[in-house]
Every structure is written in structure tokens, then in C-alpha cells.
Chains A and B, each alone.
Chain A
């Protein structure tokens, strides 16, 4: 694939995710348009469901999902233990407790939990900082444009990885010391710490996925990939790494060898997340007018099944820490949908609870941010 073709894939994908700018007028008008589009999309999704093999299951779930009026009007609790970080470019970072208590942490651009959920690492346009919920900032580093922070480690020895505006990958210890450059250039996919090896991180760079020790810089392995990864997701045991791109998900073993390739006959992969303590991979796929969530057993080809489908676009997905529920952000419907087997719980008015930026296609970030069952 040439640089031009690679770039076109990314541009096309971004374009398809972009919704047309609202017509001149009030926000209400654009909301009406959105609802109309959603209804049209729902009809299309139902039609597709009828004529495809998994149709009955999908149809049932689509019908239930379209019953938006049955959704709870407000998030009053999370269906599983743990706390959820919600990053909105419009209103900053929020923490949601299991009992539904919602607190705004501050006007940060991004945030992620520490490995045991005791602290949060956050970024502002000029700083990388860590803080304790309700107790304020622990330390900060002046770092212009730091992004995509990811925190890992044991209870006493942690590392934080983050990206710079030029795409460099840097690592700093959890106490703010030892900041150093690990890789000069990485791709668009956020780096992902290997849960099976301490202080070892995977990132995309130069047509490959690289696993590297953060302290020594030693490269553990390097797996060439013939596409541009958009995200990386480890299974919680560190044995599998899903390398997600628009049209293919490559599942690598913990040693960097290819275990499986997952493709989609139509649409593009948006995101993927391993269910904790399993090798089941939730996949979000966006088609022309609808999206679906399927669950594939990464070590058993042909076992994929559709969990949920709906018109429009799905945003981030995230598993509960115990793997019981999968949360799907559904901006088209202004809803969050919690899935467990055949059970569906929906919460409406998400935009009102976590204001999104006033621009087309804006989504919330919740992926990897439902942490720790305490």
C-alpha cells in the first residue's frame, strides 16, 4: 500500500465519520435533523437485519434499541462496580461512581486511571499532571500538547506513557521523575502497555507494531503490519494484542506472531476491546448508515456474534472491570447502552449530562476508562 493509499484510507474514514454541518439556525433544528436521520437509519438497519442470517437476533435488538423512550432519562448508577472517567472536549473530565454520582474533575483534555484507580493522569494544553480525585493535583510537568496518557505498573512502581505533538512517545515514572523519550515517531494509535510484562509498551511506528521496554528502550519484538493501525488493545493476560485498522483487525500473540485476522465484509472497524479475563473481543463496526457491536472469540475463528446494532454512529466502547457489562456510547441517539448477553439497558440525555463540544461528530472518550472494582 502506498503512502497515498494509506492516507486516503484514513481521510476517507474520517470523512465518513464526519456528519454534515448543521444548517443555519438553532441547535434544535440540527437535533431534529439528527433524529430524522436516526429514524431513516433505523429503517435501513431493520431491513438489513431481515435479510441476513443473524437477522432475528439483530432485529430484536434493534427494535429494543430504537425504543429510546424506554431508556432511563438519567444515569443513576453504573450496572457494575468501578468508576468511569468520561472525557468531553466540551466540558472537561468527569468521574462517575458506581452509584451514579457524577463529579467534574476539571477542564482537562484527556485523562486516564492509574493501574489501581487510585489516581488520574490528565493533560492540559501545556501540562501533564496527576491528581487524586477529591484531593487535587499531586505533580505536574510542563509539556505542551501532551496527549494520550496511559498509566501502568504495580502498586509501588508505575510508568506513564504519553505522546507529544510530533508523535513522539515519552515515558515518565508515576512520581513524575525520569521523563524520557522512548520512540521518536509513533502512529495515530495510542500506545498500549502490555499487561503481561512490567513497563513494556506496544506502539505503532513505521509500518509495524513494536513492543518495547520503557526503561531500557530494548525492543522485544517488531511485527510488520500492512495497514495503518488506529488502535491497539491487549487481552488482560497479555497473551493477545488486537491491532485495529479500518478494514482489518490483526490479532497478535504475546510474542508478536499473527494469530488471527478478522475482517468485515462491509463497513469499517471503529474500535475493539477485550473482555477482561477472557479472549473475547468486542468489535464496533460502522457501516454506511448503521453501526453494530459484535463479540468474537479471538482464539476461535468463526465464533463471532452480533450483540447490538443501531442506526448512525457508535462512539467508544468499554467493558466493566469485571467483564459483565459492555458500555457503548451512541451519540446519534444521545444515549449510552449497557449490554450484557441479551440484556440491554439504555440511558438517554447523555449530551446534557456530559456536554459535548458544539461541533459535528464530536464524541465522548470512555474507552479503557472504566476502572477497578473497588
Chain B
């Protein structure tokens, strides 16, 4: 069975089909959220909430289209919102004593370089080089002009190449 069949089954109420859909898409959704937020606990919540949002709207989903981009759009936009909000709150936080659980961190230094970018640049870099969307698809996912996507990609990569 493929993705379309899982979506069809889930819309009819099949938990088994929903689980297939969830398991197929969770790793990339979680990874994308983690790379944009840099926070494993937040990534878990964001990916989870994104699935919940997707399920709430499953009946309106055009099942001729792939599920992944639809989900990733929700994930990445929420991750950007979270990251912006966290920056805004940073100076008034009392601080929490709990360490975040270990995340799915790339081991080649890429992660540190990605989290050094602004949320907007992070999002396009993750979508392009981790989730492998084309610039045109990213423009559609984030409701951005294609030129903006290209310039953010260029600047993002430039900053990642800068010596620390």
C-alpha cells in the first residue's frame, strides 16, 4: 500500500493506515523541526502538533498531492514561529533546569552552522539541503517569491562557510 491508500484509509477512520502515514513521515518532520529550532524537546512538540493539525484537516487534504510537502509546510512555519518567539522571550526567562534530551544531531558540524543562521535562513537551508526540496517547491511551501528563496539560500550558505 502506498501513501494515497494510507490517506484514504485514515480518512475512513483506519488507525493502522494513519500509523503507516505517521511512521513514514515522522523522522523527516522531526528532523526538520529540530534543525530549525535547535531544540529537541521543542522539535518533538512541533512535529507532534503539526501531525495533529494535519489530521484535523485530513478531510480537506487533496489526496492527489503528496502528503510530505503539506506536512513540512506546517512543521517549518511552526518551527520558525517558535524560534522567533523564543528570541523575543529570551531576556525575561528565569531559565529551566531541565536539559533537553539528545536530538538527532548531524555529527559533521553542520548542525552548529545551521543553528547560527536566522530562523528564516535556517528554514530554507533545511528544506533545500536536508529535505531536498527544489527552490520552486520551497517558494510554494513558505509562500515566498522564488527570488527570496534563492537569495536566502545563497546568504545562508555564505554564512555557513564563514570561518568562526
Chain A residues packing against B (C-beta within 8 Å): 3-4, 6-8, 10-12, 14-16, 18, 20-21, 164-168, 180-185, 205-208, 217, 219
Name the B residues within 8 Å of A6 (CB-CB): 44, 48
Q: Say whether B98 contacts A206, CB under 8 Å.
A: yes
Q: List 9 A-B contacts (CB under 8 A).
A: A7-B48, A12-B19, A16-B15, A164-B89, A166-B82, A181-B93, A184-B96, A205-B96, A206-B101
- B115 in the interface (beta carbon within 8 A): no
Q: Which of B10, B44, B59, B96 contacts A7 (CB 8 A)?
A: B44
Smallest CB separation, A124 vs chain B (Å): 19
Q: Which single residue of chain A is at the shortest CB-CB distance from B103?
A: A3
Taking A20-B59, A181-B94 as known contacts, 7 extra A-B pairs with beta carbons closer than 8 A to each other, sorted by chain A number, are A6-B48, A11-B48, A14-B52, A164-B85, A164-B89, A184-B89, A205-B96
Name the B residues within 8 Å of A164 (CB-CB): 85, 89
Q: Say whether A18 contacts B41, CB under 8 Å.
A: no
Interface string of B42-55 (1 = CB under 8 A from A): 10110110011001
Q: Which single residue of chain B is at the shortest CB-CB distance from A216?
A: B94
Q: Which of A10, A21, A185, A207 contacts B52 (CB 8 A)?
A: A10
- B56 in the interface (beta carbon within 8 A): yes
Q: Say whether B85 contacts A166, CB under 8 Å.
A: yes
Q: Which of B30, B52, B101 contacts A11 (CB 8 A)?
A: B52
Give bound CA distance, A182 to B92, whole Å.
10
Q: Which of B92, B98, B100 contacts A180 (CB 8 A)?
A: B92
Name the A residues within 8 Å of B59 (CB-CB): 20-21
Smallest CB separation, B3 vs chain A (Å): 16
Which of B20-28, B116-124, B146-154, B156-164 lies at the interface? B20-28
Smallest CB separation, B130 vs chain A (Å): 17
Name the A residues within 8 Å of B99 (CB-CB): 206
Q: Say whether B48 contacts A15, CB under 8 Å.
A: no
- B95 in the interface (beta carbon within 8 A): yes
Give bound CA distance, A172 to B48, whole Å.
29
Q: Say whether B48 contacts A185, CB under 8 Å.
A: no
Smallest CB separation, A214 vs chain B (Å): 11
Q: Which single residue of chain B is at the shortest CB-CB distance from A210?
A: B98
Q: Which single residue of chain A is at the shortest CB-CB distance from B100?
A: A206
Closest 4 CB pairs of A and B: A206-B98, A21-B59, A7-B48, A184-B96
Interface string of B122-157 (1 = CB under 8 A from A): 000000000000000000000000000000000000
Interface of B is mostly: helix
Q: Which single residue of chain A is at the shortest CB-CB distance from B97?
A: A219
- B13 in the interface (beta carbon within 8 A): yes
Interface size on B, residues (CB 8 A): 39
Q: Which single residue of chain A is at the shortest CB-CB distance from B44?
A: A3
- B86 in the interface (beta carbon within 8 A): yes
Q: Say whether B51 contacts A11, CB under 8 Å.
A: yes
Name the A residues within 8 Å of B42 (CB-CB): 166, 185
Q: Say whether A4 contacts B85, CB under 8 Å.
A: no
Q: Say whether B86 contacts A166, CB under 8 Å.
A: yes
Name the A residues within 8 Å of B23 (CB-CB): 4, 8
Smallest CB separation, A151 vs chain B (Å): 21
Smallest CB separation, B17 vs chain A (Å): 10
Give bound CA distance, A217 to B97, whole Å.
10
Name the B residues within 8 Å of A182 (CB-CB): 94
- B64 in the interface (beta carbon within 8 A): no
Give bound CA distance, A184 to B52, whole Å.
22
- B65 in the interface (beta carbon within 8 A): no
Q: Say whether A205 contacts B52, CB under 8 Å.
A: no
Give bound CA distance, A120 to B44, whole Å.
34
Smallest CB separation, A360 vs chain B (Å): 8
Name the A residues within 8 Å of B85 (CB-CB): 164-166
Name the B residues within 8 Å of A217 (CB-CB): 94
Smallest CB separation, A171 vs chain B (Å): 10
Q: Which of B15, B51, B56, B89 contacts A168 (CB 8 A)?
A: B89
Q: Which single residue of chain B is at the shortest CB-CB distance from A208?
A: B98
Q: Say whether B22 contacts A11, CB under 8 Å.
A: yes
Q: Say whether B97 contacts A167, CB under 8 Å.
A: no
Evaluate whether A4 and B52 lie within 8 angstroms (CB atoms) in the complex, with A165-B85, A168-B89, A181-B94 already known: no
